[in-house]
Amino acid sequence: MKVLWAPWRMEYILGPKERECVFCVRQAEDKDRDNLILYRGPKSFVIMNKYPYNNGHLMVVPNVHTSSFDNLAEEDMLDIMKLTRFSIDCLTKAFHPEGFNVGVNLGEVAGAGIEEHLHVHIVPRWAGDANFMTITGEIRVIPEHILDTYDKLSPFFAGGKK
């Protein structure tokens, strides 16, 4: 019998749920590696998803706390898209994915896990990354510890947006 270990999930399942906005709290702290923040820009930042769908799952988050595009200035929206493109470039250089899922979930019924603060998901994809474990068992196997992924990606973000 094969055993699948994912001990980090228990922290998520049983851990205390934050009352404040997780993005605003992480952005205010000066612990980027601990908080998985890869890049800080003037209008938005890049953070790794602590509970990723796939290895290298990133999120681009506006500095402004909002759940709607309506509350963002034009320059904020432009910065989010530029940072999304930059993040895809960094992921491509670091991991050579064969494709990406990029999207925004607006509202709980649309799948937003953190619906109070808008964010763009960037999920690198490889052929065969969704196998029987994902399809029949609803289990995602992430092949690398999240801090190892952070350390691999960090140098690509260090140079800033191109």
**pTM for the structure as a whole:** 0.80
Structure tokens of 47?
């953070």
pLDDT tens digits, one per residue of 140-157? 666 778 898 999 999 999
CATH 3.30.428.10 fits 16-155, yes or no: yes
Catalytic residues: 119
Helices marked H in the chain: 8-14, 22-28, 32-35, 74-95, 132-137, 146-158
pLDDT tens digits, one per residue of 6-42? 665 666 667 666 678 999 999 999 999 999 999 999 9
